[in-house]
């Protein structure tokens, strides 16, 4: 009657063994670590490892271990103070200016446990901490970008209305327009007042010259819009990075706070969040004199750039296309050479412009300029120069990248959206518990204390079967921890509350079962039949209660944010594990202990 098949026993035992294995990494925790990676995402060599090792030894900074981890250098330390000293030292070293130094927490589990995918739980900023970025939007760059955009729009409007001018350039205080005569100047002023109300014109002492400046209100609106677009772009990038429960919010008028709880690969997060990577497509100035340009005599309509191999190249100042028209990007390998490439899809407007320009310039060379913000400065470099073989449309590819990792990163940044304005990380730190270590200790102690009281109550009140329930409750907590570790779901203080709640729910399930058994015994049924009836009759009640609570938890997760999501995640996991341990787990133990015995009474 109270027997399981061997296969079912093996299945339940396998679940418990796996649960125990994947919960074990939480006993080892993390080591403070310094992660060193290349700005371009290239894999580092053992030579760089030796350099880092020598620098740390020479400066008497002790460390636990150093080595390559997926192409990056990972240095483990015994405490965070030594790690911070090492980071400051490496940042100050002249040989490491082109590397990203990021604080990290490395899995301290044994290698055999890591080899099967064992990881500690990811804890939120209120428990273990995570990475905190304070980012600042370059408002001066926003003003320059707005002036450049106005210049382009003014030129199009003048061309459409046949208003002739000598030059339209950015001056020291705004935009300067020089018309060919007074009549054109009058027509131009009328058009500017009608179509560009956000620009304030001032007549210059020189004849036929007008100076324009962006009005204070217009500039404030542009900066506000840029900040909001950057917020959305950063959210998109964080979603691409796969961080759970991030905090991305505005601080002041030009700063953004980004908190990534439980993130270990902070170097990659720093590159993705801090980068302003975008692309510009420009025609090559094939008629310009490179030697003269290098000497300082750059043609007025051209700009001097560097290719990745160090060679100089002249490109036209007019930008054919920018990253804002890109709606999708994916990385892969170029069909003929097998080199890393990014496959780009443009929106309708971008496709029309690109098709028209490339159709007009077949046989001429075009360059792809890669623009990235690195340590407070914009770096522009030509990554690809190719002759236009035919008219290009909505989809095309670019090559010339150093590695597949760089191709993936560039594709991610382009896919997530271009930043509306340059943004720089002005503060980066791994943060400790926001509620204080004492509050966290109390949270864990309350969970242990509550669980202990429940175990004592069950053992005293339900005696023999109560001890069986205690075994099931203990494994329930282990399974919750194991699932949180495997899924890398972020555990927060509200999440601990969810675990405590699910322990109580698991007790409720066992109470229902044991009370049913007591009723069956009181009705004169045999112990074996009472046990069987107790589990069978309580099942539907337990299932109904669990399903309704699970629905509520799913709703909380769907519509909640931050701590509410953390509570909902642990609640969902706890409900599922509670049903398994209370029904299948405890039943298996009862069957093993009492199933083959001739019972005169049952201790319940």
Nearest to 494 by CA among 550, 551, 577, 553: 553
Lowest mean pLDDT among 24-33, 82-91, 275-284, 371-380: 371-380
What is the Cα gyration radius of the chain?
33
Q: Using an 8 Å Cβ cutoff, are 17 and 544 in contact?
A: no
Those residues whose C-beta lies under 8 Å from the C-beta of residue 368, and which sit 6 or more positions away, are 279, 280, 281, 382, 383, 384, 385, 398, 400
Largest CA distance in the chain: 115
- What is the per-residue pLDDT across 328-347, written as a single tens digit (0 to 9) for each? 777 788 777 778 888 888 88
Residue 6 has pLDDT above 70, yes or no: yes
Nearest to 466 by CA among 597, 590, 579, 592: 590
- Helix runs in 312-370, H state only: 348-360
Residue 245 has pLDDT above 60, yes or no: no
C-alpha neighbours within 13 Å on the C-beta side of residue 199 = 29
Distance (Å) of CA 219 to CA 157, 197, 224, 375: 21, 12, 8, 26
Residue 579 phi, psi dihedral angles, 5° rounding: -60, -40
Tokens of 386: 């190719």
Q: Using an 8 Å Cβ cutoff, are 423 and 135 in contact?
A: yes
d(CA 23, CA 480): 9
Question: What is the three-class DSSP state of 83?
Answer: helix
* pLDDT given at position 417: 59
d(CA 501, CA 497): 6
The whole-number average pLDDT for the span 153-169 is 87
Apex 331 CA angle, 325 and 335, nearest 5: 110
Residue 258 has pLDDT above 70, yes or no: yes
**Confidence bin at 436 (pLDDT 50/70/90):** low
Q: Using an 8 Å Cβ cutoff, are 182 and 115 in contact?
A: no
446 compared with 572, residue with greater pLDDT: 572
Residue 343 phi, psi dihedral angles, 5° rounding: -100, 120
Tokens of 295: 């000497």
- Residue 509 burial (CB count, 10 A): 25
For the CA atoms of 489, 491, 496, 502, the dihedral, rounded to the nearest 10 degrees, stands at: 0
- Helix runs in 363-492, H state only: 404-416, 437-487
Residue 92 exposed, middle or buried by CB count within 10 Å (0-12, 13-18, 19+): exposed
C-alpha neighbours within 13 Å on the C-beta side of residue 376 = 3
Nearest to 136 by CA among 309, 9, 272, 254: 254
Nearest to 266 by CA among 130, 375, 99: 130
- Range picked from 78-82, 171-175, 263-267 for highest mean pLDDT: 78-82
Residue where the block lists tokens 């799913």 = 554
Distance (Å) of CA 423 to CA 181, 274, 420: 42, 7, 9
Give the DSSP letter of residue 526: -
The whole-number average pLDDT for the span 528-556 is 85
**Confidence bin at 587 (pLDDT 50/70/90):** confident
* pLDDT given at position 77: 92
Mean pLDDT of the chain: 81
The counts of H helices and E strands in the chain are: 17, 22
d(CA 508, CA 207): 89
* pLDDT given at position 239: 62
Residue 108 has pLDDT above 80, yes or no: yes
CATH number of 6-23+435-594: 1.20.1640.10
The whole-number average pLDDT for the span 106-113 is 86
Give the DSSP letter of residue 109: S
Residue 433 has pLDDT above 60, yes or no: no
Tokens of 102: 């990021």
Give the DSSP letter of residue 393: -
Residue 254 has pLDDT above 70, yes or no: yes
- What is the per-residue pLDDT across 387-401, written as a single tens digit (0 to 9) for each? 887 888 788 887 766
Q: Where are the beta strands (DSSP E) in 44-143?
A: 65-69, 72-76, 99-107, 122-123, 130-137
Nearest to 130 by CA among 271, 261, 246, 273: 261
148 compared with 177, residue with greater pLDDT: 177
CATH number of 30-108: 3.30.70.260
Tokens of 323: 């990253």
Tokens of 292: 């003269």
The whole-number average pLDDT for the span 140-157 is 82
Nearest to 396 by CA among 372, 371, 366: 366
CATH number of 277-418: 3.30.1360.200
Spans of all domains in the chain: 6-23+435-594, 30-108, 140-216, 277-418
Distance (Å) of CA 267 to CA 159, 301, 431: 48, 39, 15
Give the DSSP letter of residue 43: P
d(CA 208, CA 206): 7
Bridge-based pairing of strands 312-322 and 278-284 is antiparallel
DSSP H or E run through 203: strand 199-203
- What is the per-residue pLDDT across 470-514, written as a single tens digit (0 to 9) for each? 888 888 889 999 999 888 877 777 888 888 888 777 788 888 888
* pLDDT given at position 152: 79
Q: Using an 8 Å Cβ cutoff, are 442 and 433 in contact?
A: no
d(CA 7, CA 9): 5
């Amino acid at each position: 009657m109270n027997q399981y098949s061997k296969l079912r026993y093996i299945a339940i035992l396998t679940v418990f063994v796996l649960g125990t294995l994947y919960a074990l990494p939480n006993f080892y925790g993390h080591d403070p670590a310094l992660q060193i990676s290349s700005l371009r995402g290239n894999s580092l060599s053992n030579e760089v490892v030796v350099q880092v090792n020598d620098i740390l030894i020479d400066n008497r900074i002790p460390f636990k271990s150093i080595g390559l981890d997926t192409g990056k250098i990972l240095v483990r330390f015994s405490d965070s103070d030594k790690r911070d000293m090492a980071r400051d030292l490496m940042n100050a070293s002249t040989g490491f200016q082109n590397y990203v130094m990021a604080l990290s927490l490395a899995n301290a589990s044994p290698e055999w446990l890591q080899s099967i995918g064992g990881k500690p739980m990811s804890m939120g900023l209120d428990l273990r901490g995570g990475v905190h970025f304070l980012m600042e939007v370059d408002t001066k760059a926003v003003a320059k970008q707005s002036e450049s955009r106005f210049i382009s729009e003014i030129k199009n409007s003048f061309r459409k209305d046949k208003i002739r001018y000598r030059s339209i350039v950015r001056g020291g205080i705004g935009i300067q327009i020089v018309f060919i005569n007074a009549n054109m100047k009058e027509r131009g002023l009328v058009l500017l007042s009608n179509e560009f109300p956000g620009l304030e014109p001032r007549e210059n002492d020189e004849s036929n010259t007008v100076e324009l400046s962006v009005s204070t209100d217009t500039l404030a609106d542009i900066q506000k819009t840029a900040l909001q677009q950057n917020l959305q772009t950063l959210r998109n990038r964080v979603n691409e990075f796969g961080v759970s429960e991030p905090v991305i919010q505005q601080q002041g008028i030009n700063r953004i706070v980004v908190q990534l709880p439980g993130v270990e690969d902070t170097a990659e997060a720093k590159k993705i969040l801090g980068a302003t990577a975008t692309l510009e497509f420009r025609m090559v100035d094939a008629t310009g004199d490179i030697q003269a340009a290098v000497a300082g005599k750059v043609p007025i309509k051209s700009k001097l750039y560097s290719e990745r191999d160090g060679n100089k190249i002249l490109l036209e100042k007019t930008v054919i296309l920018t990253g804002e028209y890109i709606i999708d990007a994916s990385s892969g390998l170029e069909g003929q050479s097998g080199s890393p490439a990014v496959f780009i899809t443009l929106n309708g407007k971008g496709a029309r412009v690109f098709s028209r320009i490339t159709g007009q310039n077949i046989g001429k060379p075009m360059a792809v300029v890669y623009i990235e913000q690195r340590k407070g400065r914009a770096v522009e470099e030509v990554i690809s120069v190719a002759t236009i073989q035919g008219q290009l449309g909505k989809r095309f590819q670019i090559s010339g990248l150093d590695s597949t990792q760089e191709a993936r990163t560039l594709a991610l940044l382009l896919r997530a959206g271009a930043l509306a304005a340059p943004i720089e990380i002005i503060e980066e730190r791994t943060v400790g518990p926001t509620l204080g270590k004492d509050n966290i200790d109390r949270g864990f102690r309350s969970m242990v204390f509550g669980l202990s009281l429940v175990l004592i109550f069950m053992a005293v009140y339900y005696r023999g079967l109560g001890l069986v329930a205690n075994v099931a409750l203990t494994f329930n907590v282990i399974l919750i921890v194991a699932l949180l570790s495997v899924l890398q779901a972020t555990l927060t203080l509200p999440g601990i509350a969810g675990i405590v709640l699910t322990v109580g729910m698991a007790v409720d399930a066992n109470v229902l079962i044991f009370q049913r058994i007591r009723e069956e015994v009181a009705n004169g049924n045999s112990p074996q039949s009472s046990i069987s009836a107790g589990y069978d009759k309580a099942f539907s009640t337990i299932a109904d209660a669990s399903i309704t609570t699970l629905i509520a938890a799913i709703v909380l997760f769907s519509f909640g944010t931050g701590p509410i999501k953390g509570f909902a995640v642990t609640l969902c996991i706890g409900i599922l594990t509670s049903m398994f341990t209370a029904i299948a787990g405890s039943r298996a133990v009862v069957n093993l202990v009492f199933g083959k015995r001739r019972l005169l009474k049952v201790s319940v």
